[in-house]
Amino acid sequence: MTTMPAPTTPVRPVEVEEFLTGDFPVGSELVDGVVHLNDPAFLHQEVVSRLLQALAAWTRTEPGHGRAGFGGNWVLAGRNVYKPDVWWAAEPPRGTRHAGPPELAVEVRSPGTWALDVGPKLRRYEAAGTAELWLVDPPAWTVLVFRRAAGSGTAGSGTAGAGAAGFGTALEVAGGDLTSPLLPGFALPVTDLVEDAG
């Protein structure tokens, strides 16, 4: 006897306002109209904590260093509401949502969401004008750094967007320091992120 597969019902895309006002689990993100829940492991959270502490400490070294944080509701074009694992913004966001991405977004590898991070989310961050994106891969002890060419505009400058130049070739940082032209004087050894974590 041949068994026919059950018919699939197409999932209705979720709109931004519905997502922001709906009763979705804590930690959910909206990626191209589909709600995804991230349930990170301890290693993921340890790496996030270390990176956030380092960025937050740098922001306090002198005035004008912006704000570092995690999560939030960063509303991008289309049906996308992201909650970066860590972010940095030149101007602190206010309220419960922010239109557009932070200048620096960081996503740490998690088995359930890594394919989104290196796929559609990377493309949406780029299209939205994110100045820099770090994709942290603790098992490989590496960070992939995507950044725009100098002078192409950033999300915080008001000059970025779909017309701005895209990310250049990814820089793989393994064994060296994480630095950024956005964060003068900031340097964090990749080994400090992952050594003895988890």
Q: What is the CATH number of the domain that holds 159?
A: 3.90.1570.10
In a domain? residue 9: no
State residue 120's pLDDT score. 96
In a domain? residue 33: no
In a domain? residue 169: yes
Q: Which parts of the chain sit beneath pLDDT 70? A: 1-11, 150-164, 197-198
State residue 30's pLDDT score. 96
State residue 153's pLDDT score. 46
H or E stretch including 120? helix 120-128
pLDDT tens digits along 128-154:
999 999 999 998 999 999 999 765 444
In a domain? residue 94: yes
Residues 161 and 165: their CA atoms lie apart, in Å, by 9
State residue 163's pLDDT score. 46
In a domain? residue 125: yes
Residues 71 and 148: their CA atoms lie apart, in Å, by 23
Residues 23 and 177: their CA atoms lie apart, in Å, by 40
Residues 188 and 13: their CA atoms lie apart, in Å, by 39
pTM for this entry = 0.86
In this structure, the strands spanning 74-76 and 80-82 are: antiparallel
Which parts of the chain are beta strand (E)? 28-31, 34-37, 67-69, 74-76, 80-82, 86-89, 98-99, 104-108, 132-137, 142-147, 171-173, 177-178, 188-189
State residue 150's pLDDT score. 62
Residues 56 and 175: their CA atoms lie apart, in Å, by 22
State residue 160's pLDDT score. 42
Residues 42 and 129: their CA atoms lie apart, in Å, by 31
Report how many domains make up the chain.
1
Residue 136: beta bridge partners?
Answer: 108, 143
In a domain? residue 24: no
In a domain? residue 97: yes
In a domain? residue 13: no
State residue 114's pLDDT score. 92
State residue 197's pLDDT score. 64
Range of the domain at 142: 41-71+84-194
Q: Closest Cα to residue 101, out of 68, 123, 75?
A: 75
